[in-house]
Structure 1
Amino acid sequence: MSLRIAVAAATIGVTLLATNAAQARPEVVGVRSSEYSPGTIVVKTSERRLYLILDDGHAVRYPVGVGKYGKQWSGTTQISGKYRNPAWAPPAEVKRDKPDIPDLIPGGSPRNPMGVAAMTLAGGEYAIHGTNMPGSVGGFVSYGCIRMLNPDITDLYERVSIGTTVVVTR
């Protein structure tokens, strides 16, 4: 192989690697826990990852944004609702911190923090949802919600149903 072809191939490979990292897709990974039943969603806050357990040895893994320090929580809950392009009304805590935020942001608006889909969690004001700010995924960024890339929430939304168990760990 000539040096020119080798450099071109290396450049294309680096470009593809950078593109794939920026547009990371969920991946099937090995898990060593029989602690969770297939179909359970496990959010590991410290890793900023969400796992959908497939079986005793495998899970689909997604990058997520999680609660800011002081806004994190842990526990077990269930998905209580599923919504496409949901409107969003800021919870009282968000409204208190950001008084200029509108009382309601319509679904489909680029300013809507819920992105293309949301799954509400029982017992609180939290949700697993998409985002129109993809750069925030992977950080400690929310008031306790689990934030996903829009393609990832779309994928997860299709895989789970109302009643799915969600376990959030620190």
Structure 2
Amino acid sequence: MPDDAPLPRPQPARAAAPAGLTVGHVHLKVAELDRALGFWRDVLGLEVMARRNGAAFLSAGGYHHHIALNTWDSLGGEPPAPGTTGLYHVALLYPDRATLARAVKTVLEAGISLEGASDHGVSEAIYLRDPDGNGVELYRDRPRADWPRDAEGNIAMFTRRLDLPALLAEAED
């Protein structure tokens, strides 16, 4: 599918998710807890809410945890090989473009390489990897009124190159 092609039309779910359902948290298997904390806490700024039994529970805004890091089955382990199944990425939603820009600037200043920067119409997203090879997306949503739509009113997401220098310029404001 070309990068700017709209996504296929959504199909109705076989069972309806209940109103109010949200994604609560993500657990990531890591090889070294302190190394993982150096990224999730020290670079991305999540707060450690608890640490015990080879795991750390991190939050934004005081929730019990949004991201959990554990070494229960992965202490000293290697990242999954390319071409295997598993988590594609965990996405962190920033409240606005300037906040996203400051987060990306911090990531770059920490010497972390970016894997991509995309404009999806509904959002702007930056892609990278944590020290254990887990995919991480840092993004912000555009206002829903600005989401691209097709002739029938369906969301018409796309993938185009994000103007990274323009985004980073907002970190200076």
TM-score > 0.5 by shorter chain: no
The TM-score range, normalised by the shorter chain, is under 0.3
Q: TM-score, normalised by structure 1?
A: 0.24
Quick check: which one's helix share is greater?
Answer: 1
Q: TM-score, normalised by structure 2?
A: 0.24
Choose between structure 1 and 2 for higher RCO, CA contacts under 8 A separated by at least 6 residues.
1
